[in-house]
Amino acid sequence: MAEERAIPQSPLAAELGAGVRDALTTVVPSIVAYGAVWGGLARQTGLSLGEVVAMCLLVSAGTAQFVALPMLASGAPPAVIVVTTYLVNLRHYLMAASLAPAFRHLSRLRLAGLAHLLSDEAYALTQARFARRPARAAYFVGCASVIYLAFYAGAVAGALLGARIPDPKRFGLDFVFPAVFLAILAQAIRAAWQWAVAVAAVTVAVAIAWQVGGTWHIAAAGLSAAALGAWLAPAARAPETPEPG
């Protein structure tokens, strides 16, 4: 044991561990709870335990899986469910694009594997980390895989427990997701142009979420407010871009 202690922890293991720890102490309890709610609903919709497992492993997109259940229950055509899944996940194009520069040293095979793990929560935690420390893919792998497993574990538990799952809203657990995003923003926003981007995103997102509904507001506000940021941000190297090479 003493010998093990003498060996300094590798940067890779440290980054992986930091990702796991940050996910466990922030979003994971809520993700397990919402996974359990989804698993319970899926059983009520008529999915077997095996089908619940298959859907989590194959789709691995919580929001889309929630949206798909009432569609399955009402007998919607499979093509409509697939198109809806695609539309609900459109925001991931933007998240993948903004993470890509930090992963430029990785092989294509590894990038293809990382892509499957992308989620809103993993994106948020990773961006917060990369804004303060050198970008390391291991951090993303740590937090994203724990988040992936948390929804899966919650879903299986919920499928086994069925209707006995209490409403997470009673415990304020639904607030964990916006709270994590807001806390990250509160620490990230410093310059005037960043305030302008946030105000623009609030305006567009709230207007569309209120008038149109669905999940369109995320991609629409993301695209338009970032364009304002590209115009207003100082022409010198942008602050959150990781060091080249």
SS3 label, residue 93: helix
Tokens for 155, please give them.
């879903």
Show contacts with other proteins in window 199-218 (CB under 8 A).
200-202, 204-206, 209-210, 213, 217-218
The answer to whether residue 73 forms part of the interface with other proteins (CB under 8 A) is no
Piece in contact with other proteins (CB under 8 A), picked from 33-41, 100-108, 149-157, 158-166: 100-108
Closest CA to 26 of 212, 173, 242: 173
Strand, helix or coil for residue 7: coil
Q: Which is nearer to other proteins, 11 or 101 (CB)?
A: 101
Interface residue with other proteins among 48, 133, 134, 161 (CB under 8 A) is 48
Rounded to whole angstroms, the Cα distance separating 95 from 107 reads: 19
Amino acid (1-letter code) at residue 150:
A
* Number of residues lying near other proteins (CB under 8 A): 105
Site string for other proteins, 214-243 (x = CB under 8 A): ---xx-xxxxxxxxxxx--x-x-xxxxx--
Residues 154-183 that bind other proteins (CB under 8 A): 169-183
* Cα–Cα separations (whole angstroms), residue 244 to 105, 233, 240: 10, 19, 12
